[in-house]
Amino acid sequence: MISCRIVPYCLLFCFLVSFSSQDAAAHGGVVEEDDLCVIKVNYLRAQFKIYQPGATGHEQYCEDLPLASESVFVMEYQHDSLSKMPIDFRIIRDVTGKGRFARMEDIKNIADLESATVYYRPPIVEPHIYTVNYEFTEEGNFIGVVSAEHPASGKIYTAVFPFEVGFTGFGYWPFIIGLLFLIQFQYFLMSGRLKRWFGMKSVAAASLLVCGLLIAPASFADSLIVTYTTPDGDPAINRMHSWILHIENEDGLEIEGAIIEVEGGMPEHDHGLPTRPRITEELGGGDYRLEGMRFHMSGYWEVIVSITTDTGNFEVTIPLQL
Ligand SMILES: [Cu+2]
């Protein structure tokens, strides 16, 4: 039986403040590795940079851009095969509603891709460096989609990278971004990197600082707490099982009649859940039966619970190490 208490999503906002200079490496397409920003087009990799020469000169960005202005996207191939592949580049307004978690399947589900597209460069073979120049005229949430076609097999490889223009950290997605910082933080914690960098004491201090920040802001108090149990036993790999979610607010009031959706995946592998879990029954007392849970591999998973109540929408992420 597993039971755990989840920090409400909104409160993760504080990570944004504490780690605002870090970029999140959790979703597909573009990741930071050893201070390099890397775009992964399937197994093909390229170093990725974005400049805003008119606004910030030689300053390099990995994804989010501070201003709506002329932006230069640069890919330097780390795989020679990219230099022989026709590559196209699309920028769309984020109409997926998935924000940072948008994946290729979400892009494919867009009914009118053309009208969401703000920039499209048809496939072209660039033997050395691939650059795209686009002037953003408005701030907002965007998604970049890079596709490369394998010259022999005709197979299309894609990378999807959501990003924000006019990135202030206080925009549309503060809690999701906060979550990504948490993932990064957890990753560093789990990989022992923080320990190596700063020694154990400062890790403890950082955790304390984080906790302090989590407790402090009263303005973020209207969040929900999700706990869960697994009545069928621990979630073994590849076994379909159910969860009981329990939802209450910070005052301990059980939340009834909520509309709940569950998704998730492995952020480090950039894939989702293999199933589509659903709430099948409200059990009363803030309890809901969630069926169809299955994890097909071991590693770090996140289960994202979206909750709609009379008072608003909430998102809570449950981290799982399997
Ligand atoms: Cu995986």
Class of residue 311 by CB neighbours under 10 A (exposed 0-12, middle 13-18, buried 19+): exposed
Terminal alpha carbon distance of the chain: 14
Q: What is the H or E stretch that residue 141 is in?
A: strand 140-149
Ligand 1 centroid distance, CA of 167 (Å): 30
Mean of pLDDT values over 209-219: 37
Ligand 1 centroid distance, CA of 272 (Å): 8
pLDDT tens-place string over residues 149-208: 887 788 888 888 888 998 765 555 556 656 666 666 666 666 665 555 555 444 444 444
pLDDT of residue 45: 81
Ligand 1 centroid distance, CA of 263 (Å): 14
Ligand 1 centroid distance, CA of 198 (Å): 29
Ligand 1 centroid distance, CA of 32 (Å): 18
The CATH number that domain 224-321 falls under is: 2.60.40
The pTM score is 0.47
* pLDDT top residue among 186 and 62: 62
Ligand 1 centroid distance, CA of 189 (Å): 19
Q: Give, in order, the Cα–Cα distances in Å from 133 to each of 23, 51, 71, 231.
A: 22, 10, 6, 54
Ligand 1 centroid distance, CA of 271 (Å): 6
pLDDT of residue 213: 41
Q: Which amino acid is at 34?
A: D
The domain locations on the chain are 1-22+171-215, 35-165, 224-321
pLDDT at 82 over 90: no
Name which of 61-70, 124-133, 186-195 the model is least confident about: 186-195
Ligand 1 centroid distance, CA of 188 (Å): 18
Ligand 1 centroid distance, CA of 171 (Å): 30
Binned at pLDDT 50, 70 and 90, residue 20 comes out as very low
Residues with C-beta atoms within 5 A of ion ligand 1: 266, 269, 297
The CATH number that domain 35-165 falls under is: 2.60.40.2550
Q: DSSP for 144-193?
A: EEEEEE-TTT--EEEEEEEEEES--SSSS-HHHHHHHHHHHHHHHHHHTH
pLDDT of residue 219: 28
Ligand 1 centroid distance, CA of 297 (Å): 6
Binned at pLDDT 50, 70 and 90, residue 14 comes out as very low
Q: Give, in order, the Cα–Cα distances in Å from 198 to each of 34, 189, 300.
A: 17, 11, 24
Ligand 1 centroid distance, CA of 68 (Å): 35
Ligand 1 centroid distance, CA of 43 (Å): 14
Ligand 1 centroid distance, CA of 137 (Å): 37
Ligand 1 centroid distance, CA of 267 (Å): 8
Mean of pLDDT values over 79-89: 86
Ligand 1 centroid distance, CA of 277 (Å): 17
d(CA 220, CA 11): 6
pLDDT at 322 over 80: yes
pLDDT tens-place string over residues 233-265: 888 899 999 999 999 998 889 999 999 999 999
Ligand 1 centroid distance, CA of 107 (Å): 21
pLDDT above 70 coverage of the chain, percent: 74
pLDDT at 210 over 60: no
d(CA 147, CA 133): 17
- Angle 121-122-124 from CA coordinates, rounded to 5°: 100
pLDDT of residue 16: 40
Q: Where are the alpha helices (DSSP H) in 25-123?
A: 53-56, 104-108, 113-116
Mean pLDDT in the chain? 78
287-293 vs 241-249, strand pairing mode: antiparallel
Ligand 1 centroid distance, CA of 275 (Å): 13
Ligand 1 centroid distance, CA of 321 (Å): 12
Asked if residues 41 and 160 have their Cβ atoms less than 8 Å apart, the reply is: no
pLDDT of residue 190: 64
